[in-house]
């Protein structure tokens, strides 16, 4: 059972997305968040650094789902093993079928929908922790700062979030290992939910199988609310 210090400590949440609403190449959108209690952060980053050193990977080399290949498969499996080995490092994803989004009925723009889905992503994390929450999102363009400011305001105005305060800021993913691991797990969830005929990389399919074996959870299925290490919601609109 988690102690009071853990429940009250600050939590870093590293948010990644795949298949945004404006992306016509996929019918699926995934919002993913790797979240970690701040006291565990140095242990986590040190473990990642050790894996990189073992595989002769430069410490500054970015970890990305798109770089998963047969030659690097063992390296990426060991990175995933770090995620499972370090306590208080967890992952949550919201998987969305874009074909069932009805913007007109709910009077939402694409940005409104993104904020609503990010709230759903973060809410379950916030309900399990009582300390401050710090959200870190991948810096994509000049609008990233404005977008994250609006997101923080939206979430802070939501009364059901337990955290004492919530901040959000864009960061460069190549500088933040938490965001890079979030990219790996979000990429895996996205890939697993693609049609079989689009899953052409054996290395990526093997890494997905490794994640599923370690977690005991299929990445194509939702999990109970209580699941923490891997928590997946298959979103459906309210009727």
Does the pLDDT of residue 205 top 70, yes or no? Answer: yes
What pLDDT is attached to residue 67?
96
pTM of the predicted structure, to 2 decimals: 0.90
CA distance 238 to 50: 45
Of 124, 133, 125, give the one whose Cα is nearest residue 166. Answer: 133
CA distance 168 to 125: 15
Q: What digits encode the pLDDT tens for the residues 181-198?
A: 999 999 999 999 999 999
Domains of the chain, earliest start first: 4-234 (3.30.420.10)
What pLDDT is attached to residue 189?
97
Q: What digits encode the pLDDT tens for the residues 211-229?
A: 999 999 999 999 999 998 9
What pLDDT is attached to residue 161?
63
Confidence of residue 1 (pLDDT cuts 50, 70, 90): very low
212 vs 18: which has the higher pLDDT: 212
CA distance 190 to 19: 8
Least-confidence region, from 28-32, 152-156, 160-164: 160-164
Name the most confidently modeled range: 66-75, 116-125, 136-145: 66-75
CA distance 80 to 208: 10
**Contacts (Cβ under 8 Å, ≥6 apart) of 109:** 103
The pLDDT of 135-157, averaged and rounded, is 71
CA angle 212, 42, 228 (to 5 degrees): 35
Angstrom CA distances, 196 to 16, 63, 65, 220, stand at 23, 25, 18, 12
CB 86 within 8 A of CB 40: yes
């Amino acid at each position: 059972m988690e102690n009071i210090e853990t429940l009250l400590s600050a939590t870093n949440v590293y948010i990644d997305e795949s298949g945004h609403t404006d992306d016509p190449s996929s019918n699926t959108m995934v919002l993913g968040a790797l979240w970690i209690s701040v006291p565990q952060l140095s242990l986590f980053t040190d473990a990642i650094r050790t894996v990189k050193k073992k595989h002769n990977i430069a410490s500054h080399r970015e970890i990305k789902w798109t770089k998963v290949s047969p030659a690097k498969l063992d390296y990426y499996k060991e990175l995933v093993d770090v995620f499972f080995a370090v306590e208080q490092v967890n992952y949550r994803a919201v998987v969305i079928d874009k074909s069932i989004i009805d913007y007109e009925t709910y009077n939402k723009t694409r940005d409104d929908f993104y904020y609503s889905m990010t709230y759903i992503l973060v809410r379950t994390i916030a309900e399990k922790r009582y300390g401050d929450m710090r959200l870190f999102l991948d810096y994509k363009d000049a609008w990233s700062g404005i977008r994250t400011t609006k997101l923080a305001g939206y979430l802070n105005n939501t009364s059901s979030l337990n955290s004492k305060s919530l901040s959000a800021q864009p960061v460069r993913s190549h500088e933040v290992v938490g965001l890079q691991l979030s990219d790996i797990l979000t990429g895996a969830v996205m890939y697993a939910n693609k049609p079989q005929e689009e899953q052409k990389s054996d290395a990526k399919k093997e890494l997905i199988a490794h994640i599923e074996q370690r977690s005991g959870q299929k990445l194509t299925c939702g999990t109970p609310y209580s699941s923490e290490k891997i928590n997946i919601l298959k979103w459906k609109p309210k009727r």
